[in-house]
Amino acid sequence: MADFAFVVAFAHKGESEIGGSPQAMAAHLRNLLDTALKATPRTFSNNISVSVAPGGVMFALRDSNPDRAVALCQAVAGQLEHQAGTQHGMPAVCAVITHGLLRSLDVLGLSTNFEGWPAIAAARVLAKLSPGELAVEESAWNFTALREQCGDARTLPGKSHDAEAFHVCIHKRIHFPTPAEKPLAEELKPLHISSHGEFAQKVKDQIGTRLRDPRLQALHDAIVQQEKGATAAEDVLVPPHSTSLLAALTHLYQATKICLQKPLGAPVEQIARVKAVALEIFGLLTGLAVNRDKLRGSAWAFDPRQGSFEVTLPLVSEAAIEVGVSALGERAARFRRIKDPRNPRVVGQDSFSEEELEMGITTSDRLTELLKRIWVTVMEVEHAPEPFCKRERDRLQSVWRTRDALGRNCYYITLPQNSSSSQFDKALLQRLAEVLQPLRVIYFGAEQNQGLLFVNEYDLWALIEEFLAMVEKA
């Protein structure tokens, strides 16, 4: 027996946050729809049939008006919005509403399915929709209230070049949230890159200014003693040739070590001053490892002080990422050590690594969990407040933004370029960027630096680690 009915069909489209096989994506879609139906069980308990296929799910609603069809789409959109805020991921979904005669089918006498033109049309239209779209096919346009909720009509081609085309309009109010294609909205703006000579002179002047402090005379003299015939420490540390940079960093290492091995009784303030200035000079010098001519006109030439961005640098270490970022900003690199027994290393002082932001797979509110971990670092405390609510979010947001604007910090997240981890996806980073502006995400992990550095990155990385360890132990 044939009856008039509305068909509401859903499909998973394109990329998905959840990844995995098509079978896994289909299972995730079915779970999503099941949850949406259970949210309003009275609405969808009667006169509804379901047809499940590998590419999607169809519902037949034997109603005289489209209210339940629209309510079902709203329920699914609401469930996706909820998942975007609290769950691990969501499928990219599209849907279509059609109307017409359907015939019930008994499948081996065990269940009820359906067939008919509305189901065929729904399948054809789904194949042509983009993620997030809810289309209303021409067969449902006679219902004025539904048609008025939609935009202009458009034509979709049939299954083959000679097949009948389909006419649809897209619902203006109901849209299914989709995984973001890019986590951050702003484009990287071109940056003027000074020449290596200009930058080297700037570094040299800054080092000279710092070491003219009478309290640092011992450090100045210890540096000069590293090079025969030298009279100024800045001449020793800023070599005429970039290939001599590792030797210059080694000279600073040796001189700093000598000054920090003074006899017991040296004023604590004096030792602290030597450490602070030596670290700053070391950070300035590391910037000379960056090939500024190679940066010019490349995608790597971004302004670290601009707004949010996402960029990949051809470097293998987080230490070198900080070197690159600081060189672009023409400031001293600032490092800190991660004493992880599995992967001890050096990272940027204002950076957040994948490991530091790691969450358990059972975390229900991923964004809040991320913000709590960031809070601990930014506020320099052991634990984030519980509960972590809007008040804490707003305060973290203001501290983050204010310190960035004042130049105190340049926060960024470092993520492996080819990470298999599901901890961070595009949609999650997008939501994080909405709370923390500006948010910078820098991917690393390429095995070749493509000439971005003058020196061997592993040698530079090792020197940075040794210098920090020496200063901390003193």
Is 187 part of any domain? no
Domain membership flag for residue 326:
yes
Q: Is residue 161 part of a domain?
A: yes
Q: Which domain holds residue 284?
A: 196-288
Q: How many domains does the chain have?
A: 3
Give the pLDDT of residue 418.
64
Query: Residue 370: its pLDDT value, please?
Result: 87
pLDDT of residue 26: 78
Say yes or no: 303 and 397 in one domain: yes
CB 105 within 8 A of CB 114: yes
With H, G, I as helix, E, B as strand and everything else as coil, classify residue 465.
helix
Same domain, 311 and 442: yes
Boundary (domain end) residue, out of 247, 265, 288:
288
**pLDDT at residue 422, rounded to an integer:** 47
Answer for the pair 346, 319: CB distance below 8 angstroms, yes or no.
yes
pLDDT at residue 329, as a whole number: 92
Pair of tokens at residue 249: 């960093």
Q: CA-CA distance, 301 to 303, in Å (whole number)?
A: 7
Tell me the DSSP string of 35-92. Answer: HHHHHSTTTTSSSEEEEEETTEEEEEE--SSSHHHHHHHHHHHHHHHHHHHHSS----
DSSP 8-class letter at 129: P
Residue 91 lies in a domain: yes
* pLDDT for position 111: 55
- Same domain? 47 vs 133: yes
Query: Are 274 and 302 members of one domain?
Result: no
**3-class DSSP state of 150:** strand
Q: Do 157 and 20 fall within a single domain?
A: yes
Residue 46: give its domain's CATH number: 3.30.70.1230
> Quick check: is 469 in a domain?
no
Q: Please report whether residue 364 resides in a domain.
A: yes
Q: Please tell me the pTM assigned to this model.
A: 0.64
**pLDDT tens digits in sequence order for the chain, 474 residues long:** 578 999 999 998 754 444 455 677 778 888 889 888 887 788 888 888 898 877 789 999 999 999 999 999 999 988 887 776 654 456 788 999 999 999 887 665 555 678 899 999 999 999 888 888 999 999 999 999 999 899 888 888 766 555 678 999 999 889 888 765 455 656 667 788 999 999 999 999 999 999 999 989 999 999 999 888 778 999 999 987 766 899 999 999 999 999 988 656 667 788 889 999 999 999 999 999 999 988 887 888 888 888 888 888 999 999 999 999 999 999 999 999 988 888 889 999 999 988 778 764 444 567 888 899 999 989 989 899 998 988 999 999 999 999 988 888 999 999 887 654 445 666 678 778 888 888 999 988 866 667 899 999 999 999 999 999 999 987
Based on the fold, state whether residues 266 and 307 are members of the same structural domain.
Answer: no
Nearby residues of 78 by Cβ (< 8 Å), 6 or more positions away: 36, 39
The closest of 147, 129, 128, 149 to 138, measured between CA atoms, is 147
Write out the H or E segment, with its range, that includes residue 12: strand 2-12
Give residue for tokens 């020449």.
195
